[in-house]
Amino acid sequence: MGVTTGVTTGVTQGQLAALARAAYGAGRRLDGVERLRGGSKKGVYRLAFDDGGTAVAYVWGDAENYWPGAVADDADPLAHASGLDLFEAAHRRLTAVGVRTPRLHLADRSGDHVPADAAVVEDVPGENLETLLDRDPRAAQPVLARLGRTLDVLRRSGGTAAYGKLALLDNGGTSHGRSCEQLVHDRALADLAEAARRDARIAAARDRLAALLHTRYAVVRPRSRYGLVHGELGPDHVLVDTAGEPVLIDIEGLMHFDPEWEHAFLRIRFGSHYHHLHTDDLDQHRLALYALAMRLSLVAGPLRLLDGDFPHRDAMRAIAEYNLGEALALVAEGRPQQ
């Protein structure tokens, strides 16, 4: 039995075997372990058993987190979202509203098996939606339609008068800030400043980008009710099960927030396929602000990640470069929404 990783990990094969025994008992023997690609905030491992079955282990440990200097602040909806508490709160809520996510077999905070909080979940057979879209866009269309309905469920399942991460709100906590739009605006200015320190092209356009942020923020009207949003719902965070149903993963960022924040990300990540997920009841002023803020986040975030030892560096550079170009195009061309 061996761990196939390609990168340094924070767990050993023996520790994962102990975690598997805690989840399934001594009668099921672990035959192999494979570290899955992705997971910049946690380790993700496929566990293969002697009975032919598989499962997936999540490990939230310092050695598994590639974000340099990231601070987890549950009171900040836009801060680093990672950890077993957030995962369990999100899993409970998605299950309660009927949204498919891998079944949870074990949540472990003991530290007796691996040196971090960990969970063992269902290994959903099949590919993710990103792979399916690349391989067979026509076959992906029914899945996209079902994902659109899932987003409708999430939007309707919020309706709260408070915004923020589920674990915080479930425990009676209060999020930072006066409103979602204020938080997004202020975070976008911070991302702009951070990106400008790292890239001369952003630095040269900093004043114009800041002015555009202020202009878009100024016309957003107040709101007092919020939906459920995943927060980072790209096609790589949607598995497709054997029945063709979308299965949401990387759910720790689930929160009550503006659905426009979700859709700003969806439009970027799904591109020409976004029309399957579009809904007419979005605030266009709010969406315009969030679209610009999302571009800046997708420049500053990958550049920040590259300060550390994240292994898939070319992909991160490509994300930063693409979104940098899109952000600069907004001020160069005066495009109103994208």
| pLDDT tens digits, 284-335 | 999 999 999 999 999 998 888 787 777 778 888 999 999 999 999 998 865 5
Question: Do 288 and 167 share a structural domain?
Answer: yes
Of the listed ranges 66-75, 113-122, 127-136, 282-291, the least confidently predicted one is 66-75
Question: pLDDT value at position 313?
Answer: 84
Distance CA 33, CA 260 (A): 39
Question: pLDDT value at position 8?
Answer: 42
Q: Is residue 68 over pLDDT 80?
A: no
Angle at 335 between CA 332 and CA 338, to 5 degrees: 115
Question: pLDDT value at position 9?
Answer: 58
Choose one of 68, 90, 122: the last residue of a domain: 122
Question: Do 305 and 208 share a structural domain?
Answer: yes
Question: Do 160 and 55 share a structural domain?
Answer: no
Domain with 55 in it = 3-122
> Rounded to two decimals, what is the model's pTM?
0.90
The values of phi and psi at residue 107, to 5°, are: -115, 125
Q: How confident is the model over 110-136, as a mean pLDDT?
A: 96
Q: Is residue 124 over pLDDT 50?
A: yes
Question: pLDDT value at position 2?
Answer: 40
Question: pLDDT value at position 67?
Answer: 56
Residue 271 lies in a domain: yes
* CATH number for the domain that contains residue 61: 3.30.200
Report the relative pairing of strands 3-4 and 227-229 from DSSP bridges. unpaired
Percentage of the chain exceeding pLDDT 70 = 92
Question: pLDDT value at position 10?
Answer: 72
More confident call, 223 vs 1: 223
Q: Is residue 23 over pLDDT 60?
A: yes
Question: pLDDT value at position 1?
Answer: 38
Q: How confident is the model over 130-141, as a mean pLDDT?
A: 97
Question: pLDDT value at position 50?
Answer: 95
Residue 338 lies in a domain: no
Of the listed ranges 61-75, 90-104, 169-183, 226-240, the least confidently predicted one is 61-75
| pLDDT tens digits, 187-221 | 999 999 999 999 999 999 999 999 999 999 999 99
Choose one of 122, 137, 155: the last residue of a domain: 122
Number of domains forming the structure of the chain: 2
More confident call, 8 vs 173: 173
Q: How confident is the model over 255-266, as a mean pLDDT?
A: 96
Question: Do 43 and 172 share a structural domain?
Answer: no
Distance CA 160, CA 158 (A): 5
3-state secondary structure the chain: CCEECCCCCCCCHHHHHHHHHHHHCCCCCEEEEEECCCCCCCEEEEEEECCCCEEEEEEECHHHCCCCCCCCCCCCCCCCCCCHHHHHHHHHHHHHHCCCCCCEEEEECCCCCCCCEEEEEECCCCCEHHHHHHHCHHHHHHHHHHHHHHHHHHHHHCCECCCEEHHHHHCCCCCCCCCHHHHHHHHHHHHHHHHHHHCHHHHHCHHHHHHHHHHHHHCCCCCCCEEEECCCCCHHHEEECCCCCEEECCCCCCEEECHHHHHHHHHHHHHHHHHHCCCCCCCHHHHHHHHHHHHHHHHHHHHHHCCCCCCCHHHHHHHHHHHHHHHHHHHHHCCCCC
Question: pLDDT value at position 227?
Answer: 92
Distance CA 209, CA 192 (A): 8
Choose one of 68, 92, 122: the last residue of a domain: 122
Question: Do 133 and 116 share a structural domain?
Answer: no
Q: Is residue 142 over pLDDT 70?
A: yes
Confidence of residue 38 (pLDDT cuts 50, 70, 90): low
Asked if 216 contacts 188 with a C-beta cutoff of 8 angstroms, the reply is: no
Q: How confident is the model over 98-108, as a mean pLDDT?
A: 98
End-to-end CA distance of the chain: 49
Question: pLDDT value at position 301?
Answer: 87
Q: Is residue 126 over pLDDT 60?
A: yes
Question: pLDDT value at position 7?
Answer: 37
Question: pLDDT value at position 71?
Answer: 61
Question: pLDDT value at position 212?
Answer: 97
Q: Is residue 69 over pLDDT 70?
A: no
Residue 206 lies in a domain: yes
Given strand 30-35, what is the order of strands in its sheet?
3-4, 30-35, 43-49, 54-60, 117-122, 104-108
Question: Do 257 and 323 share a structural domain?
Answer: yes
Q: How confident is the model over 277-281, as a mean pLDDT?
A: 94
* CATH number for the domain that contains residue 247: 3.90.1200.10
